[in-house]
Amino acid sequence: MIVIMKQGATKEQVELVVKRIKKEGLDVNIDQGTEHIVIGLKGDVRGMQDVPFNTYEGVEKTLKISNTYKLTSREFHPGDTVVDVDGVKIGDGSFVTMAGPCSIEGLEQIRECAKIAKAGGAQILRGGAFKPRTSPYAFQGLEEEGLKYIRQAADEFDMKVITEVMDEGHIEMVAEYSDILQIGARNMQNYKLLQAVGKTGKPIGLKRGIAGTIDEWLNAAEYIAVQDKSPVIFIERGIRTYETATRNTFDLSAVPLIKKLSHFPIIVDPSHGTGVWDLVTPMARAGVAAGADGMIVEIHPDPKNAWSDGQQSLNEENYMKMMQEVAILNDAMEKIKEIED
């Protein structure tokens, strides 16, 4: 349930409504929208239907939100949330690229990736230091050493960092080196982890789970949003279907759908979405056309010898080509947005 205040409602009027909600034993999230202040009720709202909010001055109406992801929903926050990653804006209408290797393999490798990524136009450097690998015998990541390398490389090329955190116990360490905390597909429903990263205040890149429905994904975001500190960036990375010709089935319809249902930005991951390097560029182009706010893509100076996900990583030449093609489509999208507005 949300309480929508009238345009120009005073601080005192808002405070009286908040006081009443707290008296009923619930907490609130307040959204300072551009037109209306919206008060979201946190907790079990059964029984709140009987509270006569409409008799409070400054209240326009109350709205029962039928889905369970209230703070993540468009109803709660009708405008787009623009996530500010230390100066890089995601969700403001521009298209932001995050590029880098699957795994950080060493300082020279991540520096080389940063150099290529930056030259192609990416603003954010990706790379895993904690790797969720299917096999326990596969390379698990360089951990803190890797975090140091990615930070150093990003700083050298004036980029921001996104890297995965897999464990509650590592959040503080990862947050020290990273600008965005990535929650991997395998952890989309690790609710304790979601609650904990939501308390950091860092933007959270939330991958869609391998078998995650849109509703489950939105609810996962709600676990973060309810902490009232960290904004969410949805990352569509493909889901598991009966198809085996690609690593995953890249669900691009998630882009306009998430945009309809939520105010948080959504980016696409055509690397994990396809798992095949020569399908990455066409699907990156499709991501732009679907209206994504950006993409995260795996690149490697020498994909054949990558320690993980070499089969889906773009080499320098192919990455540069992809970025040129994406730029052309971005220009076209500007014109399309003019028609739509």
Would you tell me which residues interact with Mn ion (CB under 5 A)? Answer: 102, 309
Residue with smallest beta-carbon separation from ligand PEP: 184
- Taking the complex as a whole, the smallest distance from the CB of residue 219 to ligand PEP amounts, in Å, to 18
- Taking the complex as a whole, the smallest distance from the CB of residue 104 to ligand PEP amounts, in Å, to 11
Q: What is the DSSP letter of 48?
A: G
- Pick out residues in 129-148 that bind ligand PEP (CB under 6 A): 132
Asked if residue 98 binds ligand PEP (CB under 6 A), the reply is no
- The encoded tokens of residue 184 equal 């991997």
Asked if residue 272 binds ligand PEP (CB under 6 A), the reply is yes
End-to-end CA distance of the chain: 30
Asked if residue 300 binds ligand PEP (CB under 6 A), the reply is no
Spatial CA neighbour of 259 closest among 31, 27, 72, 46: 72
Residue with smallest beta-carbon separation from Mn ion: 102
Distances (CA, A) of 82 to 130, 232, 323: 28, 10, 23
Stretch that binds ligand PEP, among 51-59, 66-74, 82-90, 178-186 (CB under 6 A): 178-186
Asked if residue 207 binds ligand PEP (CB under 6 A), the reply is yes
Interacting residue with ligand PEP among 128, 141, 198, 294 (CB under 6 A): 128
- The encoded tokens of residue 32 equal 């300072």
- Taking the complex as a whole, the smallest distance from the CB of residue 132 to ligand PEP amounts, in Å, to 5
Instruction: Tally Cβ neighbours within 10 Å of residue 58.
Output: 18
Q: How many residues bind ligand PEP (CB under 6 A)?
A: 9
Instruction: Please name the residues in contact with 137: beta carbons below 8 A apart, sequence gap of 6 or more.
Output: none
- Taking the complex as a whole, the smallest distance from the CB of residue 266 to ligand PEP amounts, in Å, to 14
Alpha carbon distance 211, 103 (integer Å) = 23
Q: Tell me if 2 sits within 8 A of 63, measured CB to CB.
A: yes
Which residues here bind ligand PEP, judged by CB under 6 A? Answer: 102, 128, 132, 184-186, 207, 237, 272
